[in-house]
Structure 1
Amino acid sequence: MADSERWPDKAMVDRSEGFGERLLGVLLDRAHEMPPQLIAPLVAEEVARVGGRDVSILLQDYGQRVLVPLPGRRLTVGEPEPIGDSHAGMAFLSATPVEVPQADGVRMYLPLLDGSDQVGVMALTLDTADDDDRRLLRRLAGLVADTLVTKHSYTDRFFQARRREPMSVAAEIQWSLLPPLAMSVPQVEVAGILEPAYKVAGDSFDYALNDDILHLAVIDAMGHGLNAATMATVAIGAYRHARRADIGLAEIYAFMDQAIAGQFGPEHFVTAQMMRLDIATGHLQWVNAGHPAPLLIRNHEVVQRLESPTTLPVGFGGEKPLISEQTLQRGDRVLCFTDGLIEEHEAGEEQFGEEQLVHWINRIERAEKRVRAVVRALSHALMDERGGATSDDATLFLMEWRGGTADHLAAVD
């Protein structure tokens, strides 16, 4: 089809500003220079223009247990909403709007999505809601999420709102290092979680989607506190530097190894798991440098450990590692985790162990659907099962391969 047949003549298209464009455009036009504290009153004003009231912006806390209200002029600030047992939490975990009829109208909970990462939830009340309201408010919520993510780098207020308890300096460093906790595109979805959220030090993860290749790494630096956080920072920095140089997994391992040994000496190390997934074919490659073997989940059940030759932890000068490979089936999930998850135990008692981990994975996989919901539920269930013990960091990173393409998202209907 020729472009002239596909697209009408510019003069024939109505390019005048409609109500919806004007509503969203005000926020978009002003966001560039807007101080962070003025986002709240502008959003409340925007919602009021479609007949909405009682606006709340709820952000996920660091422990991924509650949605906490963001203070701000013209916002309704109530109590935190539990993620696992509230309408706001339902909208957050499902990434879909939730509507709750009330005596004075309908309360709407709209997920705040920055890309596919759930930032939080925007709640508001309308007298009634039709499809035009739903479409406009869904788009407004997306724009609000993007604005919050952009402005969070300019202020401490969003960080402060998300904290439910004091945070260690080591944890402060680690949280500043992390990528978004979740990402979802048509071919693949990933999510990660760190425990203890406010005291984590040596554990971290990183990922990047470069064209059809998903790169990911999970690391665990030896020790505790600032020393571990510093080592983890160097390890992740070295991983990113090497990954962006477009070299193979074996070469990435060697570069990280040299960086840790050169900076900290031969008595220090970082265990690591580095992976590459071709999201077009499902071909998975990985290097295991002292980590527990990842688990392959198929049809919501653990079917095998992804055994592989292990090389020495990063920093110990190991030989060139062997690359392990596995072809995934559509819908397969791969769970990476650090040893703190299975080695925790109370004094004089047995370690938590991988058998219990597998039991809980199978149980939660049958109850939850989305990758992020599974990771969150699994981490919290394991923490509760271990009696809240957190003598070591514990990290989970889950990915699901779906296959297919995303080309349809680049086409304008």
Structure 2
Amino acid sequence: MDRSEGFGERLLGWLLDQAHQMPPEHIGPLVAGALRALGGREVSILLQDYGQRTLVPLTGSGLATGDPVPIDGSLAGTVFVSATPAEHPQADGTRMFLPLLDGGDEVGVLAVTLDSVDDDDRRLLRRLAALVADILVTKNGYTDRFFRARRRESMSVAAEIQWSLLPPLSMNTPRVSVAGILEPAYNIAGDSLDYALNDDILHLAMIDAMGHGLNAAVLATVAVGAYRHARRAGVGLAELYAFMDAAIDEQFGPDQFVTAQMMRMDVGTGRLQWVNAGHPAPLLIRDHRVIEALESPGTLPVGFGGATPQISTRQLRQGDRVLFYTDGVVEEHQAGGEQFGEKRLLDTIERVGPTSGAVQQTVRSLSHTLMRERGGTTTDDASLFLVEWRGGAADSPTSPEPA
């Protein structure tokens, strides 16, 4: 079968043309049809569940179904966390696993079995997986189908609100990578985060709204909305805090508040600036060791009308990581026991870090390890967000070579 560049162009073009007006329930069968044109069979589209523990098969005509696949200890899971394709020889051919990547965000894994595999197959499958990821993300905006597939437990109304607010929980670019995780995934309420990469500046906010349940989710929603509004207006960190503070105070009065941290990083130089409004200090990690907590003069939580905040600054080195977390990570008590505490958090970071890889794998492993060490107990939201500055030359697209 012809798998040259010309064949691949026609196949990808067919898939793209068909997907434009195809309803979401037909995307899986459409992908399966494209892979059958390659001689593929047993096609699976595996999506990450909200707890970041399993890969869940998407159902549909032409798609292989089965039980969710654990991310830890499976080949599909290894492909997912490493974002690297893998091949598994079988008696009847080769099982191919390809990461579904959209802008650095890992959506899931595409799996297909072929009788034999050569470099043309590998190239075409890699490109097809990238296109499938883009299609899934686009179609996700106007269907519940993919959400339902990823949901492994019942979800509270507060958690539904929070998940609808969140940006993709991972992003990888040549100069900066970010990854986050929120626990308990199906009952999160007051914790939230937001980020945006605007040219050379990475903007980030980590938010912890007071209380629990629906009220905390509504409070966090206003805080995130105010943050985005001010950020998009191009104001500085001090003005951004003031705008968020006024929005919370006007909407909820003096009895409710949000702790928060707002950050700006120049991804070209590694210059980090942040404002702390009642939040735990972020941790600076270098070579898998926590070298210090980034303590800074703080101001009152958002909504309390604090003084103009002092902006703290730190110059990062290439490869440095900064971990932001909410207080639920360290304030949890086991039944009849002492508080989990920051020291145990630091010990866990330094134990997990060397065995992990990219930021998404690290933050996921760290969160699940912390959950186990807290005895599986999470009475408050416990969220992590990890940023790695890679530095290097400016990102720039390359032009294709002429035919």
TM-score, normalization by structure 2 = 0.97
Task: Please name the residue that 2:329 is paired with.
Answer: 341
Gaps of 5+ in 1: 1-15
Task: Please name the residue that 1:82 is paired with.
Answer: 70
Task: Please name the residue that 2:234 is paired with.
Answer: 246
SS in structure 2 of the partner of residue 281 of structure 1:
coil
Among 106, 118, 140, the residue aligned to 1:130? 118
Q: CA deviation at 1:38?
A: 1.1
Q: CA deviation at 1:346?
A: 2.2
Say yes or no: does 1:234 pair with 2:222.
yes
Tell me the matched-pair count.
Answer: 398
Say yes or no: does 1:148 pair with 2:150.
no
Say yes or no: does 1:204 pair with 2:192.
yes
Among 357, 370, 392, the residue aligned to 1:369? 357
Task: Please name the residue that 1:120 is paired with.
Answer: 108
SS in structure 2 of the partner of residue 109 of structure 1:
strand
Task: Please name the residue that 1:262 is paired with.
Answer: 250
Is the Cα contact below 8 Å between 1:185 and 1:406 reproduced in 2?
Answer: no
SS in structure 1 of the partner of residue 160 of structure 2:
helix
Equivalents in 2 of 1:410, 1:259: separation in Å?
A: 43
Say yes or no: does 1:275 pair with 2:263.
yes
1:47-96 CA-partner distances (Å, limit 9, x unpaired): 11111110000000000000000011100001111111101100100001
Equivalents in 2 of 1:155, 1:194: separation in Å?
A: 23
SS in structure 1 of the partner of residue 186 of structure 2:
coil
Return the letter of the residue paired with 2:146.
F
Equivalents in 2 of 1:70, 1:214: separation in Å?
A: 33
Among 261, 264, 275, the residue aligned to 1:287? 275
Q: CA deviation at 1:45?
A: 1.1
Equivalents in 2 of 1:27, 1:411: separation in Å?
A: 24
TM-score, normalization by structure 1 = 0.95
Task: Please name the residue that 1:320 is paired with.
Answer: 308
Gaps of 5+ in 2: none
Q: CA deviation at 1:17?
A: 8.6
Return the letter of the residue paired with 2:383.
T
SS in structure 2 of the partner of residue 18 of structure 1:
helix
Equivalents in 1 of 2:231, 2:205: separation in Å?
A: 10
Equivalents in 1 of 2:391, 2:159: separation in Å?
A: 35
SS in structure 1 of the partner of residue 141 of structure 2:
helix
Say yes or no: does 1:45 pair with 2:23.
no
The alignment's C-alpha RMSD in Å is: 1.1
Task: Please name the residue that 1:159 is paired with.
Answer: 147
Is the Cα contact below 8 Å between 1:297 and 1:334 reproduced in 2?
Answer: yes
The worse-fitting range, judged by mean Cα deviation, of 326-335 and 44-53 is 44-53
Is the Cα contact below 8 Å between 2:87 and 2:96 reproduced in 1?
Answer: yes
Is the Cα contact below 8 Å between 2:174 and 2:395 reproduced in 1?
Answer: no
Task: Please name the residue that 1:176 is paired with.
Answer: 164
